[in-house]
């Protein structure tokens, strides 16, 4: 990457100013060498554990610094924000700490656990308003309310103070590395505030470091913007990686990524799920989907990172336990172990036994069996889920199902049918 004037955007000094403000407020989260990942990828992997931050995500940094820059009159009038999770918690924590009234708009679809956390961190200083079914609708209401009541709106990512605050992650990170090289930094991209702040500082201090931004495949808004040469609005996104599922990145964050980020890569949501489970079982780390993006991307850069020093920012750990069943399901589908089919079964005794004996392999298991229609006819369609022990067994399974029912239909890759039926 050619050298650029980083001071044209958020500068190293801007980040250091934010660090001076935040160092007594935020937790200096650990930078831990991870021996499991280091061995797995034949390099030195360090995890920057922002999942251990006071609000369990990096968002506190930007929120606190942005609010701390407001005038006394603005603080007295109070602030607003729109968020479905981590940004709201950062604003709530800040407002209780500084004694600033806040009105926080959250979509009506926000899980109760996240709403409760916001109220917990904000205490008596925060009012939560559940408005709209989507983040965009909630943000519209927040901005309208801000204008009508002369309140400062605290943007989630597209703001210089927010970016500078998030950049303090990099100050701690490089300080803890000391004289060690920092060859690669992997950071999640949602709206782009984190990677923008980190890149601003790292490229100024260690310009040879390669910075990789990581997006979920279902919401590649920064990648699409860089391809188009301007910020674009995605018509549809997969909201599963909720902390990084953004339809449109910021104008300011786009400019940072265009000039300072070496590469933006995408990771499948199923691979994110596999990474979450791996981090939990192997390292006892509870990462939210966005928090696992940076680690999931390592698999895409094996040759480049071999023998190098790599930092992955685990950006958050606010993972709802109620999502674990869906996480496991997505992981198994991604790994090629769980498959769903519509198969016509003869409606006679012994048909299921015949399927089990003639179609399933010795280590295969049925995880779902449901008639979609029961009528007086010779055959009826069945939704059947099969769990394999080895993904290489799939082709042979298809051959055996085709003998049982030549008109069968795999539905894993048919998103509409999968969503409707599974």
Contact 310, 46 (CB under 8 A): yes
Residue of 59, 151, 224, 338 with catalytic role: 59
**Quick one: which H or E segment has residue 136?**
helix 135-149
* Residue 2: pLDDT over 50: no
pLDDT at site 242:
87
What dihedral angle (degrees, nearest 10) is formed by the CA atoms of 240, 243, 244, 250? 140
Q: What pTM, to 2 d.p., does this model score?
A: 0.92
Spell out the domain ranges in the chain. Answer: 12-58+160-327, 79-150, 336-421
Residue of 57, 315, 331, 338 with catalytic role: 315
Mean pLDDT, rounded, for 173-183:
96
pLDDT at site 374:
62
Helix (H, G, I), strand (E, B) or coil at 348: coil
CATH match of 79-150 with 3.40.50.1100: yes
In CATH, the number for domain 12-58+160-327 is 3.40.50.1100
d(CA 53, CA 51): 6
The two tokens of residue 401 are 């199902």
d(CA 184, CA 38): 13
Q: How confident is the model at residue 421 (pLDDT cuts 50, 70, 90)?
A: confident
Residue 76 annotated to the active site: no
pLDDT in tens, 358-409: 999 999 999 999 986 666 667 889 999 999 999 999 999 999 999 999 999 9
Chain length of the chain: 422
Q: Class of the 336-421 domain?
A: alpha beta
Helices and strands: H and E segment counts in the chain: 18, 14
Same fold across 12-58+160-327 and 79-150: yes
Mean pLDDT, rounded, for 48-64:
97
Mean pLDDT, rounded, for 236-250:
91
Residue 315 annotated to the active site: yes
């Amino acid at each position: 990457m050619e050298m650029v004037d980083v001071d044209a955007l958020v500068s190293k000094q801007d980040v250091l100013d934010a660090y001076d403000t935040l160092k007594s407020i935020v937790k200096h989260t650990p930078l831990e060498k991870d021996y499991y990942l280091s061995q797995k990828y034949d390099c030195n992997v360090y995890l920057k554990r922002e999942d251990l931050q006071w609000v369990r995500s990096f968002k506190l940094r930007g929120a606190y610094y942005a609010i701390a820059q407001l005038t006394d009159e603005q603080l007295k009038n109070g602030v607003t924000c729109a968020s479905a999770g981590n940004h709201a918690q950062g604003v709530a924590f800040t407002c209780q700490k500084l004694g600033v009234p806040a009105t926080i708009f959250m979509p009506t679809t926000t899980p109760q656990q996240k709403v409760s956390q916001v109220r917990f961190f904000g205490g008596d200083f925060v009012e939560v308003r559940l408005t709209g079914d989507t983040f965009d609708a909630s943000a519209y209401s927040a901005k309208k309310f801000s204008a009508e009541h002369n309140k400062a709106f605290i943007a989630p990512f597209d703001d210089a103070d927010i970016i500078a605050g998030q950049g303090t992650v990099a100050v701690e990170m490089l300080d803890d590395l000391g004289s060690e090289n920092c060859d690669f930094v992997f950071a999640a991209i949602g709206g782009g505030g984190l990677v923008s702040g980190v890149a601003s500082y790292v490229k100024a201090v260690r310009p040879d470091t390669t910075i990789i931004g990581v997006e979920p495949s279902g919401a590649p808004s920064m990648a699409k913007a860089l391809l188009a040469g301007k910020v674009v609005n995605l018509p549809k996104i997969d909201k599963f990686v909720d902390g990084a599922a953004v339809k449109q990145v910021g104008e300011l964050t786009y400019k940072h990524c265009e000039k300072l980020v070496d590469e933006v890569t995408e990771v499948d949501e199923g691979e994110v799920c596999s990474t979450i489970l791996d981090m939990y079982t192997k390292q006892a780390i509870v990462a939210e989907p966005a928090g696992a993006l940076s680690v999931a991307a390592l698999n895409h850069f094996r040759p480049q990172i071999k023998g190098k020093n790599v930092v992955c920012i685990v950006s958050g750990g606010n993972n709802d336990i109620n999502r674990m069943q869906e996480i496991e399901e997505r992981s198994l589908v991604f790994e090629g172990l769980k498959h769903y089919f519509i198969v016509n079964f003869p409606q006679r005794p012994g048909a299921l036994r015949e399927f089990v004996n003639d179609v399933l392999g010795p280590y295969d298991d049925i995880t779902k069996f449901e008639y979609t229609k029961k009528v007086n006819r010779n055959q009826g369609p069945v939704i059947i889920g099969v769990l394999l022990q080895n993904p290489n067994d799939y082709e042979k399974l298809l051959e055996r199902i085709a003998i049982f029912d030549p008109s069968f239909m795999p539905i894993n890759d048919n998103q509409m049918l999968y969503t409707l039926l599974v």
